[in-house]
Amino acid sequence: MGCLDRDKLPCHLAIIMDGNGRWAQQKHLSRIKGHQKGLESLRVVVETCAELGIKILTLYAFSKENWRRPKDEVNELMRLLRHYLVEAREELLGHDIRLNAIGDLDDLPLETRQLLLETMVFTQRHGGLVLNLALSYGGRSEIVAGVKAAIQDVQHGRITPDEITPENFSNYLFTPDLPDPDLLIRTSGEQRISNFMLWQLAYTELYFTRTLWPDFGRQELVRALEEYCSRERRFGRTSSQLVEGEAR
């Protein structure tokens, strides 16, 4: 990791962890085995981000649509989440990682939700990497909920319609205290964002890799970060404007 320019690393990295099922299918294993192997990749990526000094890592762990999967698979995913929350406590403590979660958390089974909230409280004073798990998350439903909350504030006189700006509306989403992602990585070769952080990804750099999530490790992550560091982020401006801004 010595060739990475740490000053150019993303502040907020988001990852769509995709390909567990296909990895298992290729190896003639059950989809559950694929999810179990994917959990190993999650641990490696979290540890690497903490070592690199990345401030926020958001992982798309379970979407609203994932509830439609076979019941046995959903139950196993919830069990794996609970297992991770228990087993990772020492790791979170050792790397000063704070756990956060976004999504419709009330959808989670009671035991899973309670353990999640307990772990968030356990790590709330940690000052290193923020590990942000997107659980029962859907970008469209997040925006709709935000619109409803803003309408309620207008109706109760807490704000005026003119105060609903792109900047202020962000406060009604699941991520009011987090900057938008700088880089989104999606594994498995799929090139879409699948209802993930639709508002927050407006100017995010996208990186797609054909590597399936269970095979995504330290080297793949560093390769994606190197690619990100080589890009010029203009946010609607021209390259010459960026140069002029740096010269001032």
Residues whose CB is less than 8 angstroms from the CB of residue 77 and which lie 6 or more positions away in sequence, other chains included: 35, 62, 66, 69
For 13, the 3-state DSSP assignment is: strand
pLDDT of residue 111: 97
For residue 241, the model assigns a pLDDT of 58
Fold entry, domain 9-247: Undecaprenyl pyrophosphate synthetase (3.40.1180)
66 annotated active-site: yes
Tell me the whole-structure pTM to 2 decimals. Answer: 0.93
pLDDT tens sequence across 54-91: 999 999 999 999 999 999 999 999 999 999 999 999 89
Looking at residue 234, what is its pLDDT? 73
**Catalytic residue (one of 7, 20, 66, 132):** 66
Residue whose C-alpha is closest to residue 207's, from 235, 179, 227, 222: 227
pLDDT of residue 214: 98
**Backbone phi and psi for residue 199, each to the nearest 5 degrees, phi listed first:** -75, -45
Which strands sit side by side in the sheet containing 130-137, from one edge to the other? 98-102, 130-137, 56-63, 12-16, 183-186, 205-208
pLDDT of 113: 98
Q: What is the DSSP letter of 129?
A: -
Residues with Cβ < 8 Å from 224, sequence gap 6 or more?
A: 183, 185, 207, 209
Residue tagged active-site, from 7, 18, 100, 177 = 18
Domain ranges of the chain: 9-247
Displacement of CA 208 from its chain's centroid (Å): 15
- For the question of residue 18 being annotated catalytic, the response is yes
What stretches in the chain show pLDDT beneath 50? Answer: 2
Q: Cβ neighbours of residue 121 under 8 Å, at least 6 residues apart?
A: none
In whole angstroms, how far apart are CA 40 and each of 71, 100, 188, 214? 23, 20, 16, 7
Q: In whole angstroms, what is the distance from residue 87 CA to residue 208 CA?
A: 30
Residue from 136, 135, 142, 129 nearest 201 by CA: 142
